[in-house]
Chains A and B, each alone.
Chain A
């Protein structure tokens, strides 16, 4: 074996070792070089489904909150007024611009110092509890007008709670059916 060949053999063995290392690395539970791309997102219930046009739904699901108001604000206002052409203000006293201003940055606010509820008549957007009737809240804010009493047939679905009781402790959600 020539000196050159020997050297090559040594290089090759090192290469084999490196390949082996690389192979081992592949079996790490969480490979470090991997990125994940956002596919879906939600914060407050039903924002996408109600206020985003069909063509933009996937785009909204790929968006991040800090970009939403600029990218979707005018579209959302247009859809609000299309849904309820008679919209003036709602139970929270918000004009269309103010309402969309709140909704178009879609994060679920949560208090760390007090009661957590979507809306209980006093606290507004301090969380979302399992029993919160978020559909009635949203229907009322959309259709109920300044006093919440307009379009009474449309401001509640009259389903006021879950079909099975929640658990008092962790994990809170009931066992599956």
Chain B
């Protein structure tokens, strides 16, 4: 009886972990899997300068080193940090990034003309362009805008860590729990990241709190450009 219960709990755990594996969002999306629009993770944290907040948005996960030089941002994929600063879960500010000719153009933080699932580039709030740091560069290329916002775009180590292999063992019924110590399956893999460090005062948090989400959007068809 007890054994049966353990098995049930374990099977449930497997399913749960099955989800988490691809975690945080690595390949969770059938429609965008393996494409430039496939997001992996969002991080938001206080910068080295504690007056600033750092936004990290990553795409195209599980890139082996050999696949990383060929991984590119897409000129028709808009990457956005959406920021709610008054607690209603609707974006009040957006920071937008889109690739063009070897660099990433960044717009914002901008009050968006359109909220929700359909977006426009907020051209009037062009912030700056940052060249994509090439794979193998000894130093990341960083651009700082006139209002103190720092920009980076390019391949990075995937900061996510998780024992995916042991998960597979558990799923296959070859193990009943995680190992201790575990083994980080994401070790040695890369992502394509947009990283933006913003002075907090530009974010106008109404009660010291923000709600943030990361989106990728595809250019609507029918436009010749």
Contact = CB atoms under 8 A, between A and B. Distances in A.
A42 B212 CA distance: 9
Nearest to B137: A175
B178 to A, nearest CB: 5
Interface stretch (A1-9, A11-19, A59-67, A91-99): A59-67
Contacts of B176: 153
Contacts of A111: 208-210
A175 B157 contact: yes
Given A35-B120, A110-B212, A158 B20 contact: no
Contacts of A158: 163, 178-182
A76 to B, nearest CB: 12
A102 interface: no
B45 A116 contact: yes
A115 B187 CA distance: 27
Contact of B216 (A40, A128, A139, A170): A40
Contacts of A156: 178, 180
Contacts of B35: 39
Nearest to B5: A86
Given A34-B220, A57-B30, A42 B157 contact: no
A84 B212 CA distance: 28
A20 interface: no
B70 interface: no
Closest 9 pairs between A and B when the two form their complex, measured CB to CB:
A153-B177, A45-B24, A107-B211, A163-B187, A36-B217, A49-B19, A50-B19, A158-B182, A173-B156
Interface of B: 8-10, 12-13, 15-25, 28-32, 35, 37-48, 53-54, 56, 63, 65, 68, 77-78, 84, 88-90, 98, 100, 105, 114-121, 123, 135, 140, 142, 150, 152, 155-157, 159-163, 166-167, 176-184, 186-190, 193, 195, 197, 200, 203, 205, 208-220, 223-225
7 contacts: A36-B218, A49-B25, A107-B89, A108-B42, A151-B9, A154-B10, A176-B156
